[in-house]
Structure 1
């Protein structure tokens, strides 16, 4: 239950699911994004978010999402999370997580229908080498 709670939040009528995958695990599975400038270094991770409407349970595919990855005691890096190809639309992008320290991942969500900004925050610590 604790792990599920760390990967799921409900904010402003949205269910926000968060995941982090080492980029090395998805290399060779095709380009999930429209961009081609991905760098997959030793400490590169794919951060992804899936959104659902709390009431209807329907997947949300029209959002604009930005993630800011903030290492403990340092300045953060923000990137747009892009729509990923496939039938089940999620949003993601690649980030370098070089420090073995807790990261705060701040996810900003804007729905096309109302433009209201919703924020969910998650924590992640990458495994040691």
Structure 2
């Protein structure tokens, strides 16, 4: 293997290690996906807002909006969790982030949780999920999402 090929393979391995898609903690296995909002909502559009009786301003939907989707399973039984309250906090490295409750949604007859976030820059983002179920201790799982490519 050439030196350039070895360096490329090492770089690709490092990027793969930084981008995590599943984790198991506190009795849950969670899979996370991040997709451009256009896949869910359709292409960005312009919205016409009235500022006054004859004034209008055109505002574009954010081109940096992404949908974060979490599929959650009981780690022991493998059963899908459909009764959770899931909160996500998304932040760039060293920055405070935005936090929102993910909404349950049906995908192919199964429950997943999702919500929209702005990822405005090329950065390594931290996605922190908190899953609450009944009286059990909340499960907290942290993922890295590489948005630098």
Using the size of structure 2 for normalisation, the TM-score is 0.71
Bigger mean CA offset, 100-109 vs 118-127:
118-127
Cα displacement (A) at 1:6: 1.3
Q: Distance in 2 between the 1:73 and 1:61 partners? A: 33
Q: Distance in 2 between the 1:73 and 1:55 partners? A: 35
1:119 aligns with 2:133: no
Unmatched segments (≥5 aa) in structure 2: 1-15, 43-59
Number of aligned residues: 116
Larger Rg: 2
1:81 aligns with 2:112: no
Kindly report the root-mean-square deviation, in angstroms, between the aligned alpha carbons of the 2 structures.
Answer: 2.1
Task: Return the structure number with greater helix share.
Answer: 2
Cα deviation 1:53-105 (Å, max 9, x = unaligned): 11111101000010000111211110001101342100000000001011111
Q: Distance in 1 between the 2:76 and 2:145 partners? A: 28
Unmatched segments (≥5 aa) in structure 1: 29-38
